[in-house]
Amino acid sequence: MKLKTPQILILLLVSTLQLSFAQSKIIMGTVTNASGPIPGVNVAIKGTSNITLTDFDGNYKISANEGDIIIYSYVGMLTAEKTVSKTHTINVQLKESVESLQQVVVTALGISKAKKTVGYAISEYHGEEISETQTINPINALQGKVSGLDISAPPTPGGTQNVIIRGASSFDNIQPLYIVDGIPITNIQSRGGDNLNSQADYGSGINGINPDDIEKLTVLKGAAATALYGSRAANGVILITTKSGEDGKLKVNFNSSLTISKVGFLPKRQTQFGQGWSGDRALDENGNWGAEYDGVDRVWGNIVDNSQQIKPNLYLENNLRDFYDYGQNFKNSISLSGGSKTNTFFLSASHNKIDGVIPTNSDSYNRYTLSTKGSHTVDKLKLSSSINFSKERISVVPSGQGTSLSRSLNEIANELSIVDFKDLENKFNNLDNYFTPYGVNPYFILDQNSAIQNKHKFFGKGEAEYNVSDQLKVIYRFSGDYESYTSNKTTGIIAYSEGSHNEGSSTETPGEYIQTKGERIQFSHDAMLTFSKDFTKDFSVNTLVGLNINERSRSSLTGSISSIDVPNFYHLSNTLATATATQTSRKRRLVGAYISADLGFKEYLYLNATLRNDWSSTLPLDNNSFLYGGVNTSFILSEFLTSIKSKPEFLTLSKFRIAYGSTGDDTDSYKVYDRYVVGSSTNPGYPDIDDLIFPLGGVNSYTVSNVLGNSNLKPQITSEFEIGLENSFFRNRFGFEISYYNKLTEDLINTLPIDPSSGYTQITTNLGNIRNRGVELNVNVVPVKTKDFKWVMNWAYTKNNNMIEKLNVEEVLLAGFGNGSGIYALEGMPIGQYKFTQSEVVDVNGIESIVVDGNGNPQQTSDPILSGKDINEKFRAGLTNTFTYKGVSLRGTLDLKYGGYIYSGTKDYMHWVGSSPESVLNDRNAFIIPNSVVRNSDGSYSENNTPVNPTALHTFYSNGGFDGESYSVIDKSYLKLRNVILSYALPEKFCDKIKVSKIALSLTANNFLLWKHKDNHYIDPETTTFGNNVDAKFGEYNANPNQETYTFGVNIQL
Amino acid sequence: MKRQLLKITSVFLLIFTISCEDYLDINEDPNVLSSTDQAKIILPTAEVNLANTLMGWDLGFGGGFWSEYWTQSYTASQFKTLCEYEDGSATSFENAYEKLTAGVLIDTQRIKALALANEETGYVYISEALAIYTWQVITDLWGEIPYTEALKGNTGVLAPAFEKGEDIYVDLEVRVDQLLATDINTLSEIDADYDFIYGGDLTKWKQFVNSLKLKIMMRQSETEFYNNDEVISFVSGTTFLSESAKISGSYWKDSEEEKRHPMREFEEGGASYLSTNVIGCKNFIDYLKSNGDPRLEVLFVTSEDEHEGAFFGDFDARADSDADGILDADESYSKASFAPDSPLMILSDWEINFFIAEAHARAGDVIKAKQHYDLGVLNSLTQHGINDKSIIVSGYASWVNGNVEENIKQIAMQKWVANAHYQHCESFIERNRTKYPTVDEIDIKLDRQEASRNFPIGSLTISVNGRDKTNGFLPSSPIYPSDILGRNTNAPGQKRDLLEKIWWDKKTGK
C-alpha cells in the first residue's frame, strides 16, 4: 500500500506540469559568491529538462512559471533553490560548500568520523562504483583504483583475491581483515590439492558478499588506523558497510546483467616445427620437436582398424583458442529497504550463475545470497541485527602437473586440431588410440575429473545500543560467521587395453575420490562505552572504552579412496583398497581491551590516541599479553586560515596529518608445544606415491614430530609512522592526497626450516625485522565541466620499498620447489628473491664463459643461486577517466604494475614440448654455445667445440637453454585496461512517467586489453597457483588462462 | 567510597585475569599426541623408518644406480641426474638425511629418555644400538656431520657444529663398547609386538651389537686405526647375529596404499618408477648371466629369452650397440623385481659373515675365511629362496685360495651380488672401501658396438653421460643437502663435487 502514495504524487506532479506550461515567463539574474560573479553555474527548473548556464559575468536567463523552483548548482558551492514568484529577476549568492570538510568516513569499529578529524590515510568507495564494474567479488572492483592496495585476481570465476595493503610485512598471512557491518568475516582460502598438483582454488569468504549490497567500502591502511581492531588487523582492514533502510519511502533496487566471457591471453608459440621428438616427425609424440611444417597432406595419429587420419602438415594458429568456449554469467539481484522513525529494514537477494570459458561446466560458479538488516528503536534503546546467508557452488579445473587440463593441452602438437578430439566415442580419440601415450585427451580429463566445492556461509549480528545520556552510550554486539563446505574431487580411471597403442603409458591411474567436509566458526563479543562532550565552544572530547572477545575454530574431515572399483561411481565405498580418513581441528581465542580518545580544538586541530591490549591463546601462556597503540593528529590549514580570515580563494581544502601507531600480532594455533605424530616413513617421488604410515602389522606407533614447539614465542609488533597531505583547489577541480609511510615489523613470526641434524625440521619463531616504506598518491582532476559534460580523472600511484632488515637465519624459503628453487627472504634484501639453479659461469681469461658438459649443454650449478630478480614491482599506478554527458557516462580504468618477476611453469613446460617461441633459435640447427668452455680433469678450462645436439634440443631447452632453470622467472610488468563502463541513465522525466526513480543501462568490459613485458609470451602475469599470501607471488604452475568479460547490465530503482 | 570502588574494581580485574588465563589455555593441538611416557610406542617407527630409508627413494635408487645394479631407462628421465653424476639436489640424498636425523635418531633419543625415566633398560639398550648403527650410516655417507651437538633442537641448539668422521667413529666405538659391557640379563623386558626386528629377543639384540662393533671395526680397514689382530681376537669367542636384522615382509599389505615395501610403492603406487624408469645395468646383469648365478632370475624379470642390461648412464644414444637390429632405446631390458613380501634389511647375516671372512683372509687364515665366505653366499642364496648351492660348490662363487688381495676381492664381489635389492646403500659404501668391483676405464661412447662385444664383465664402468662430470671417477659420497647448508650457520661449504672421499676411503683406485 505504501508504494501507492508516491505514485499518485508523481501522477499529480506530471499533470500539474503539463497544465502550467502555458504561463511561462523569462527570469533573469546574476549568480555570485563572496568574491564576485560565477560563470558556468548550472541553472535548472526542478523536475524539467530546462537547464542553462551563467555566462562570464554570472548572468543567466531561463523561462519558468510562477511556483517553479529554480536550482542553482556549482561545484564546490552549496546548491541553492529559489521559488519563482511574480518578479522577473532573481539574484543569488551561493555559499561555499564545505562538503569536502564535512565528508564523513567510517573508521575502526565502524565509528563514523568527519574525515577532517582523521589523522591517517583512509580510502573510501561507494557501492555504485563497485557494483557497476560487475565483478563477482567486490574487491576486484578496486583494482587500479586504490593507492597502497595490491590486488591480484585469480583467472577463474569465484577464485580467491590476493590483497596486500602497504607491502608484505610477514612471511605468511598478509591478508587484511574484512569487517562487514561490524562483523569480522572469515576469509580463509578454500583449496584443493597443492601448489604443484591438482591445485583447485575454491575462493574465500569475502565471495559470500553480494557487491550490490555494499553502501560503502573503506580501506584502513596504517597501524594508526587499525589499532583498535587489534592484532587481527595487522595487515590492514577492509571495512564494508552494507545498505540499510531509511526513514521514509520504500526503496526497491533491481540489478540484472548478462555477461559473455571469452578466453583471454594465451601463450605465443613457435610456428615453424611440427610434431615429433629429436628432430624427427613422430606421430605419437607430445612435442613439437619434429621436422619443419611443409604443408603437404600427411597421415597423423595412430593406425586404428587399418585406417589413419590425414591432414595438411601445417601450424594451426587457433587450435588452442578454439578449444575454449564463450562463457556466460547471469546475475539478478534485488533489494528492498525502508522504515519509519523507529524501525528500519533492508532485504536483499541475489543470484549469480557463471559458466567459464572452459568447455563443459567444469569451470562454473553459482551463488545465492540473502541478506536482511533491521533496527528497532525504543526510547533510548536501539536494537539492530543483520543476518546474511550465501550458498556457493564452485567447480574448478585443477592446475598443475600430471594429467591436468593445462598439461594435456600442452601435450598436443600445434598442428593438431584440439576440438576434433571432442568426440570421446570416436575410435581415434578414445584412451587406447589417442595419438600419444604421454598425454591424455583433454576432453576425457574434463569429462572424468572434477573439483567441486559447495559452501554455505552465515554471518550476522545482534546489537544493542543504549543511550544513557546525551553524552554516554553503551553498545554490545554479538557477531558470528559460520561456514560449512563440502568439496569433492574426482579423478577418473585411466586404463589401457592390453596390446593397445597406449598400453603401459605412465598416465595410467586407478582413479581417486576425495571428499572433505569442514566448517569454520568465528564469533565475537564486543562491548563499548562511549562518552562525548564539548567542554567549551572550541574544545571537544570523545572517548571510547571497549572489550573484544573473539574465538575462531575450524575443523575438517577428509575421506579418500585411491583405487576406484566401478568407473564413474564416486563414493567412498566404491574402492579396491580401504578408504582412508584424516581429521583436523583448530581453535584460537583472543581477548582485547582498548581505549580511545579524540580531542578536537576549534574546527582545525584534532588529536586521537588509542591503546589496546591483547591476550592471545596462540602465544605461550606466560607471554601472551601485548600492549600497543597510537597517536594521530590532523590540522586543517584551510579552516585555520578561514578562522583568521586569510584563506586564499583558490584553496578549497588543505589538511595535514601525522600519525604513529603500532599493532601487535600473534601466530597460528599450536606452535608452542612439542608433539608426537603417527609414525610414518616418507616416500618422495610424487605423483601417486604414498608414505609408509602406521599402523603396520596391527601395531600403531608414534614418532617425535619434526615440528619443534617454541615456548619462547613473542608477539610480532608492527610500528608505523605516517604523514600525509590532502589538498583540494579551485572548488575541487583539482586535488591530491599524498601519504608517506614507514612501517617496521619486528620479531616477525614465521615457520623456520631448521637443519634436520637438530632432530627437527621446523620451528615457528621470531625471525627478524621487515620494513615497508612507501608513497601513496591520489590525484583528482576535473579538466572539463560544462552544463552537460564532465570529465573527471583519478590517478592512483603507489611505490612500496620492502626490506628485510634483520633475519636471524641465513635465508627462509617462502615458496617454490622441493629442490630449493623458489623465492626467499634474505637479510638486507627485499622479500621474495628468486633462487634457481643456473648455467655455471666462470671467468676464463677475463671472459665470462658458460661451462658446458660433454654434450655441449650448459652445466647447472649444484645448488640454486640468487638470480637478482625478486617479486616486488617498482611501482603500481592506476588511471580512471570518467566522462559524463547528460545521462551517459563512460568510465575506464587502466591498471599498471611495473617491474618485478614471476615464475612461469607454463614457460618451463612449453620449453619441454618445444612449443615456445624461443625454441627455434638458429632454425634448430646445431650451434656451439658462445663463450663456452669445458672443465678439464685438472680443474682448468678449455674452449668447447661440442655443439648442442640438434636431436637433443629438448634437453637443452627444458634445462633452461643458455640461462639454466632461472629462465622461467620472467618480468611481470603489465598494463591492463581493467574495465570500461558505458552507462546510460534514462532521463528523470521518463522515469517519472513510468513511476520509477531510476533506470540505468550499462555495458562493461573487463580485462580485455593486456600489455605485458616483451619477454613474457606465456602468461597473464597476475596469475598464481601458489595460495594467496607472499607465496602466491612466486608464480604459476601450469595454470588455466584468464578470461575477458563483457557485460550488459540493467539497474532499476523504485 | 573511592576505596570501595577501588576494591571492587581490583577484585573484578583479578577474576577477569584468572578466568582469562583459563579461557586462553587452549593451545594444545588436539590433532596430535601431546605427550607420552611410553617408550615402546615409538620403537616401531624408529625401526621401520630406518629400514625404509636404507632402501627408499634416495638410498635405494641412488645406491642401486651407483652400484650399477640398475640404470636409467632410455625413455624416461626421473633418475638421469643420479646416473650422470649431476651434483645437484638428487645427489645430496636430502630426504634420507632428514629421515635418519629428524626421524630415526630423534626417535631413538626420545625412546632412550622415556625408557630411562621409567627404568625400562631393555628399550634403552635397543634404541642405543639403533642409534649407533644409524650414526655410522650417516657419517659413512656424508662424512663430516653434526654429532655431539646434534639432536638438541629442543634445548635451543638449532645450528649444531660439524665434526670429523674419524672423531665420530671414536665416540661410536666408545658407545658400542658400553653396550657390549651391559649384561643383557639385567635388562627390562621388551614388548615383543613393538620390536619389529627381533620381537623383543635381547639375546639377538646382543648379537646385533656384536655385529655392529665388527662392522665399525672393518670399515676402518684401510686406515691407521685398523688392527686386524684386534678384529680377529674380537671375532673369536663372540657370537654374531645368525638372523639378519630386518623388517620382515610379513608387515606389508601389498594391496594397500601406505602399507607397502618402498620399492613396491614406487612401482605399484601408480607411478611405475621401476617399470618405466629402472632397467637392469649391463655391468651387473652380464656378471650374473655369464656366471650362471641363479639370483639373476629372482632379481630381474624379462620378457625376452634372456636377460639384457644397458650401459650405465647412456640414455641419449641412438645406437644399436649389440648389433641385433634394434636400437638400444628400443631394447627390452630386464626390469628390477621385488616380491610383495620382500623384507627390508638393516644388518644382514651375509654381511657379517663376509666381514668375518675378510678379517680372516687378511690374517691369512683361509680356512676360516672360506668357511665364513661360503656361509655368506649361502645366506644370500637362502634369502633369495634358492636351494641350488652349485655356485658355491663348483660354480664361479666357489672359494679360490688366492693371495690376501684376491681373497678380499672375491668376498667383496659376492657382497656386491648379495646386497642387490637389499642393501644398496651398504653396497655403495663398501665399494668405496674395498674398491671392488674395480672400475674399467672403457669409454663406451667412443664405440658402443666394440664396448658391447668386449664388455669388461665383472667391472664397473663410468656413466656414459656422466664421464665428464666426474672426470672418469665414480662418485665417492653425496654432496651436502641444501637443507643443512641453508639452515645451519655452522655448516661448512658445499662439497666441490661427488668425489670427496670419506675419511676411511683410503684405498687407491677409482
Chain A residues with CB-CB distance to B28 below 8 A = 670, 673
Cell 654374531 found at? B240
| Nearest neighbour of B33 by CB, restricted to A580, A702, A753 | A702
Per-residue b/e over A66-105, b at no fewer than 16 CB within 10 Å? eebebbbebbbbeebebebeeeeebebebebbbebbeeeb
* A673–chain B Cβ distance below 8 A for any pair: yes
Contact status, residue A291 vs residue A281, Cβ threshold 8 Å: yes
- Report, as an integer, the average pLDDT of B313-323: 87
* pLDDT above 50: residue A9: no
* A521–chain B Cβ distance below 8 A for any pair: no
Q: What percent of chain B has pLDDT over 90?
A: 85
Q: Distance between CA atoms of A137 and A210, rounded to whole angstroms?
A: 8
User: What's residue A8's pLDDT?
Assistant: 44
| DSSP designation for A660 | E
* pLDDT above 50: residue B130: yes
Polymer length of chain B = 510
Contact flag B49-A681 (C-beta cutoff 8 Å): yes
Contact flag A702-B193 (C-beta cutoff 8 Å): no
Name the minimum distance, in Å, from the CA of B375 to any CA of chain A. Answer: 31
Contact flag B270-A685 (C-beta cutoff 8 Å): no
Contact flag A818-B89 (C-beta cutoff 8 Å): yes
pLDDT in tens, B153-194: 999 999 999 999 999 999 999 999 999 999 999 999 999 999
* A955–chain B Cβ distance below 8 A for any pair: yes
User: What's residue A15's pLDDT?
Assistant: 40
Which one, of B233, B195, B234, B242, lies nearest residue B213 by Cα?
A: B234
Angle of the B121-142 helix axis to the B106-117 helix axis, nearest 10: 160
> Nearest-CA residue of chain B relative to A673?
B28
User: What's residue A93's pLDDT?
Assistant: 83
- Report, as an integer, the average pLDDT of A222-232: 86
Q: Distance between CA atoms of A213 and A243, rounded to whole angstroms?
A: 6
Contact status, residue A731 vs residue B134, Cβ threshold 8 Å: no
Q: What percent of chain A has pLDDT over 90?
A: 64
If one compares A141 and A612, the residue with the highest pLDDT of the two is A612
Where helices occur in B79-120 by DSSP H, the ranges are: 80-83, 94-98, 106-117
Chain A residues with CB-CB distance to B150 below 8 A = 757-759
pLDDT in tens, A827-851: 999 999 999 989 999 998 889 999 9
- When pLDDT is cut at 50, 70 and 90, the band that residue A81 belongs to is confident
* pLDDT above 60: residue A19: no
Average pLDDT, chain A: 90
pLDDT in tens, A449-463: 999 999 999 999 999
pLDDT in tens, A161-182: 889 999 888 887 889 999 999 9
pLDDT in tens, A85-109: 888 888 888 876 655 556 778 888 8
Q: Distance between CA atoms of B406 and A144, rounded to whole angstroms?
A: 79
Contact flag A809-B87 (C-beta cutoff 8 Å): no
Which one, of A220, A234, A261, A16, lies nearest residue A106 by Cα?
A: A220
Which one, of A927, A931, A932, lies nearest residue A851 by Cα?
A: A932
| Mode of pairing for the β-strands spanning A716-729 and A692-693 | unpaired
Q: Distance between CA atoms of A975 and A973, rounded to whole angstroms?
A: 7
> Nearest-CA residue of chain A relative to B28?
A670
- Checking A920-925 for CB contacts under 8 A at 24+ apart, the result is A920/A270, A920/A272, A920/A273, A921/A961, A923/A272, A924/A272, A924/A273, A924/A279, A924/A950, A924/A953, A925/A950
Question: Whole-model pTM?
Answer: 0.85
State whether residue B275 is helix, strand or coil.
helix
Angle of the B106-117 helix axis to the B43-54 helix axis, nearest 10: 160
* pLDDT above 70: residue A1049: yes
Radius of gyration of chain A (CA): 32
| Type of residue at A621 | L
- When pLDDT is cut at 50, 70 and 90, the band that residue A17 belongs to is very low
Q: How many Å is the maximal CA-CA distance in chain B?
A: 110
* pLDDT above 50: residue A302: yes
Residues 614-653 of A with CB under 8 A from B: 615-618, 621, 624
CA within 13 Å, CB half, A583: 7
- When pLDDT is cut at 50, 70 and 90, the band that residue A319 belongs to is very high
pLDDT in tens, B58-92: 999 999 999 999 999 987 888 998 999 988 888 99
* Most confident of the following: A685-694, A899-908, A981-990: A899-908
Contact flag A669-B27 (C-beta cutoff 8 Å): yes
pLDDT in tens, B364-377: 999 999 999 999 99
* pLDDT above 90: residue A786: no
User: What's residue A11's pLDDT?
Assistant: 42
* A299–chain B Cβ distance below 8 A for any pair: no
- Report, as an integer, the average pLDDT of B40-46: 98
Cell 640398475 found at? B70
Average pLDDT, chain B: 94
- When pLDDT is cut at 50, 70 and 90, the band that residue B135 belongs to is very high
- When pLDDT is cut at 50, 70 and 90, the band that residue B468 belongs to is confident
> Nearest-CA residue of chain A relative to B153?
A758
User: What's residue A14's pLDDT?
Assistant: 40
B57, B138, B154, B446: which to substitute to probe chain A, counting the most A Cβ within 10 Å?
B154
Contact flag A701-B251 (C-beta cutoff 8 Å): no
How far, rounded to the nearest angstrom, does the alpha carbon of residue A956 sit from its chain's CA centroid? 37
User: What's residue A234's pLDDT?
Assistant: 86
- Report, as an integer, the average pLDDT of A369-396: 95
If one compares A652 and A554, the residue with the highest pLDDT of the two is A554
* pLDDT above 90: residue A895: yes
| DSSP designation for A229 | G
Name the minimum distance, in Å, from the CA of A809 to any CA of chain B. Answer: 7
Cell 691407521 found at? B224
CA within 13 Å, CB half, A640: 12
- When pLDDT is cut at 50, 70 and 90, the band that residue A5 belongs to is very low
> Nearest-CA residue of chain B relative to A512?
B270
Q: Distance between CA atoms of A252 and A250, rounded to whole angstroms?
A: 7
How far, in Å, are A86, A165, B106, B147 from residue A703 at the CA level?
97, 41, 9, 21
* pLDDT above 80: residue A1: no
